[in-house]
A and B are shown apart, each in its own frame.
Chain A
């Protein structure tokens, strides 16, 4: 993944990505926890497949800063997510939104699971009937 980071660096020249900016202070521990979990669920919009927490590309540094600012100015998690989606699209959400278009994604596994349970019961009852004969 470093490779992508470096491609990012080379292409977009954000060499000034500084760690010091990362050393953030928070008004409360809750804010810090919220920050940590948010930057893990948001995807770096430029890197191939990294979240904001793991990426050191310039845009990730900026977006982490933005998340930090928004948390410290009292924005809710939902407001922060909406802010990101409005600018970078649903692509930045590692947790896809629950919309009709993602219905199958979110509920598909559980539909399959219920199907599996039904299948299990059907196979067993059929089998039992046969063994009784």
Chain B
């Protein structure tokens, strides 16, 4: 019965992976200081072996899930015989231990990716970057092995079936959300490693920024995608139609995103102009630190959140120690080494450097605002001042204005030139775009009777669109000698920026519209009855009982009419998951480009009546559509040709 050895082999490969990670963390480092090429060159093979071992461990855990090996404690807690196969696979990351293994797996894959692209880096830099990543990997492998091994067995009394996966996680959104989100979180470790190596070697020239850029863009794109997916999932799965709750755990993913966005921009300035060098290094450390902080907050049990994992204090202490070593160590290194850098390039008030500096300042303020709002209740509690909550009303009031301010400047930045911009060319274009966007927004606002804030926010969204288009037009069609406009091929990274900025504008429109133009009603309905919400008539047709693979479900059938025309058939469900004895609300969505129809079932009332919650969500898809644009932009930037060349001299 060799099958029953698999979990032990998994555990054993993790232990081996830890040893290889420690070797990776030390040998190339020693090689650098001893100037031994032999030791430096161990980095690549060590990375390969470590990554393979982690992959093996991950596959074995997945195998344990797929074959219903309930002798493994983690499997028995998070899976069930009746669970559909795809969820058995995604259940691998349905709990703390497995999701941590996924974290480590993705880290290993990032290491592998860096190892594969080693040829594009100077001989000493590449191995050192892998070595720093080796530190991170050692830390997390140790955390996994010492506090949260997913391979622990329950023997000899093997249960015949498991406790089932949390029904909330039995969904396509949650199959994809964690891996992609972690790709982003962990991806920032590469930029972090480049920054730390720059500090170690004392070589803080603009080159490191150039190497770090594609990696940062790739990580940023993944994180954007992960957050977008998470928001979309929460919207349709949680049953009340919200898309962002300012929950501490959401904030934990949002902070690295904000800092990562700042990093993307500041890397550009550092690479192109050689300024803000020490700031960019700090930002790279800061971004990954926020990823780690997120991990700490979610997994240590200090937070009251919906998404937080159940945790014990040992884990908390371990991960805090990890945080202190990695973040504390790199910040100390920064404090000791960054003083040597001096920028020599100058720029004026109107130069693009200045606008990107402003971008960085505003994004940093936004990041710190979210950090403040997330940690304030914790600090309050720690100081024994009682318990407070910081929620959406706070963030809307504080974060909102600063973010809008950032978006106003976001439109101007690309328009400016490095070093200095001629003001005369500016004003005309900007004034035109500003008037046009304000006029357009005013039209919409008067037509629908919204308020001043809506008008201003919409103006900002249009302003970004117009300015970006104008800039593209100016750059695409260059005035030739005969005053004819000529085509010019613009690089991918320019389009990356255009698309990502468009994405922001699209999301902003979604955010504004869904908050001011949505309708909501809670009504009591029985089969045959109807309700009118926001110009749509919802007819409750029938109710039936359905049996799913691992649940029973009350499924309603609603028909939605607009001006007498049938526009959607919707089937909201109330599912009862038999193993976990949990009731889940499955909302039904009638998706549309400018509005979503949203029905969720509440409680069953007497006489076959149901409490029904109906929403009309205006432009809600635009929020995620904009997210996808940003992802596309990030991917384009990551795969820009310029970064793909090999190193010139060996």
**Complex: A in contact with B (CB within 8 Å):** yes
Residues on A facing B (Cβ under 8 Å): 1-4, 6, 17-20, 22-23, 36, 40-41, 43, 48-51, 53-54, 56, 89-96, 101-102, 104-106, 108-110, 112-113, 116-117, 119-120, 123-124, 127-128, 130-131
User: Given contacts A19-B524, A93-B388, is CB(A49)–CB(B372) below 8 Å?
Assistant: no
Residues on B facing A (Cβ under 8 Å): 166-168, 238-240, 242, 245, 247-248, 304-306, 346-349, 354, 357-358, 361-362, 364-365, 368-369, 372-373, 376, 380, 385-394, 397-399, 402, 520, 522-524, 582-585, 602-603, 605, 609-612
Q: Write the chain A residue with the least CB distance to B523.
A: A23
Q: Check if B365 sits within 8 Å of A92, measured CB to CB.
A: no
Nearest Cβ in chain B — how far from A112, in angstroms?
A: 5
Instruction: Give bound CA distance, A2 to B584, whole Å.
Output: 7
Q: Check if A22 sits within 8 Å of B602, measured CB to CB.
A: yes
Instruction: Give bound CA distance, A17 to B583, whole Å.
Output: 14
Instruction: Give bound CA distance, A6 to B584, whole Å.
Output: 9
Q: Check if B603 sits within 8 Å of A120, measured CB to CB.
A: no
Q: Check if B304 sits within 8 Å of A127, measured CB to CB.
A: no
| Residues of B close to A19: CB separation below 8 A | 522, 524, 602-603, 605, 610-612
| Residues of A close to B361: CB separation below 8 A | 116-117, 119-120
Q: Check if B248 sits within 8 Å of A49, measured CB to CB.
A: yes
Instruction: Give bound CA distance, A94 to B394, whole Å.
Output: 7
Q: Check if B306 sits within 8 Å of A3, measured CB to CB.
A: yes
User: Given contacts A93-B389, A131-B346, is CB(A48)–CB(B304) below 8 Å?
Assistant: yes
Q: Write the chain B residue with the least CB distance to A101.
A: B385
User: Given contacts A2-B584, A128-B349, is CB(A112)–CB(B369) below 8 Å?
Assistant: yes
Instruction: Give bound CA distance, A105 to B368, whole Å.
Output: 11
Of residues A105, A106, A110, which shows the largest number of chain B Cβ atoms within 10 Å of its Cβ?
A105
Q: Check if B392 sits within 8 Å of A49, measured CB to CB.
A: no
Q: Check if B168 sits within 8 Å of A2, measured CB to CB.
A: yes
| Residues of A close to B376: CB separation below 8 A | 96, 102, 104-105
| Residues of A close to B385: CB separation below 8 A | 101
| Residues of A close to B239: CB separation below 8 A | 2
User: Given contacts A48-B304, A51-B391, A127-B346, is CB(A1)–CB(B238) below 8 Å?
Assistant: yes
Q: Which of B306, B392, B585 contacts A4 (CB 8 A)?
A: B306
| Residues of B close to A2: CB separation below 8 A | 167-168, 238-239, 582-585
Q: Check if B611 sits within 8 Å of A20, measured CB to CB.
A: yes
Q: Check if B242 sits within 8 Å of A56, measured CB to CB.
A: no
Nearest Cβ in chain B — how far from A127, in angstroms?
A: 5
Q: Check if B387 sits within 8 Å of A6, measured CB to CB.
A: no
Nearest Cβ in chain A — how far from B349, in angstroms?
A: 6
Instruction: Give bound CA distance, A101 to B386, whole Å.
Output: 11
| Residues of B close to A108: CB separation below 8 A | 368-369, 372
- Majority DSSP secondary structure for residues of B touching A: mixed
| Residues of A close to B305: CB separation below 8 A | 48-49
- 22 A-B residue pairings within 8 Å (CB atoms): A2-B239, A18-B611, A19-B524, A22-B602, A41-B391, A48-B304, A48-B306, A49-B304, A49-B306, A51-B391, A91-B388, A96-B388, A96-B390, A102-B376, A105-B372, A105-B390, A112-B369, A120-B358, A124-B348, A124-B349, A124-B357, A131-B347
Q: Write the chain B residue with the least CB distance to A90.
A: B388
Nearest Cβ in chain A — how far from B392, in angstroms?
A: 6
Q: Check if B603 sits within 8 Å of A106, measured CB to CB.
A: no
| Residues of B close to A117: CB separation below 8 A | 361
Q: Write the chain A residue with the least CB distance to B373.
A: A105
Q: Write the chain A residue with the least CB distance to B358.
A: A120
Q: Write the chain B residue with the least CB distance to A127.
A: B346
Nearest Cβ in chain A — how far from B275, in angstroms?
A: 8
Q: Which of A101, A116, A123 contacts B362 (CB 8 A)?
A: A116
Instruction: Give bound CA distance, A40 to B241, whole Å.
Output: 13
Q: Check if A131 sits within 8 Å of B348, measured CB to CB.
A: yes
| Residues of B close to A95: CB separation below 8 A | 391, 393-394, 397
Q: Write the chain A residue with the least CB distance to B399.
A: A109
Nearest Cβ in chain A — how far from B252, in angstroms?
A: 13
Nearest Cβ in chain A — how far from B277, in angstroms?
A: 13
Q: Check if B389 sits within 8 Å of A22, measured CB to CB.
A: no
Q: Check if A109 sits within 8 Å of B402, measured CB to CB.
A: yes
Instruction: Give bound CA distance, A2 to B242, whole Å.
Output: 13
Q: Which of A36, A106, A113 contacts B402 (CB 8 A)?
A: A113
Q: Which of A89, A116, A131 contacts B387 (CB 8 A)?
A: A89
A17-B603, A20-B605, A50-B306 known; 18 new pairs, CB 8 Å cut-off, are A18-B603, A18-B605, A19-B524, A22-B611, A41-B391, A49-B245, A49-B304, A49-B391, A92-B389, A94-B390, A96-B388, A96-B389, A105-B376, A108-B368, A109-B365, A109-B368, A116-B362, A131-B346
| Residues of B close to A113: CB separation below 8 A | 362, 365, 402
Nearest Cβ in chain A — how far from B346, in angstroms?
A: 3
| Residues of A close to B347: CB separation below 8 A | 127, 131
Q: Check if B394 sits within 8 Å of A54, measured CB to CB.
A: no
Q: Check if B394 sits within 8 Å of A105, measured CB to CB.
A: yes
| Residues of B close to A102: CB separation below 8 A | 376, 388
Q: Check if B391 sits within 8 Å of A20, measured CB to CB.
A: no
Q: Check if A101 sits within 8 Å of B605, measured CB to CB.
A: no
User: Given contacts A6-B583, A49-B305, A128-B349, is CB(A94)–CB(B389) below 8 Å?
Assistant: yes
Instruction: Give bound CA distance, A104 to B385, whole Å.
Output: 14
| Residues of A close to B402: CB separation below 8 A | 109, 113
Instruction: Give bound CA distance, A41 to B385, whole Å.
Output: 21
Nearest Cβ in chain B — how far from A78, in angstroms?
A: 15
Q: Check if B393 sits within 8 Å of A23, measured CB to CB.
A: no
Of residues B361, B362, B522, which shows the largest number of chain A Cβ atoms within 10 Å of its Cβ?
B361
Instruction: Give bound CA distance, A51 to B393, whole Å.
Output: 11
Q: Check if B522 sits within 8 Å of A3, measured CB to CB.
A: no
Nearest Cβ in chain A — how far from B364, in angstroms?
A: 7
| Residues of B close to A18: CB separation below 8 A | 603, 605, 611
Q: Write the chain A residue with the least CB distance to B390.
A: A96
Instruction: Give bound CA distance, A63 to B451, whole Å.
Output: 31
Instruction: Give bound CA distance, A109 to B394, whole Å.
Output: 11
Nearest Cβ in chain A — how far from B361, in angstroms?
A: 4
Instruction: Give bound CA distance, A20 to B523, whole Å.
Output: 8
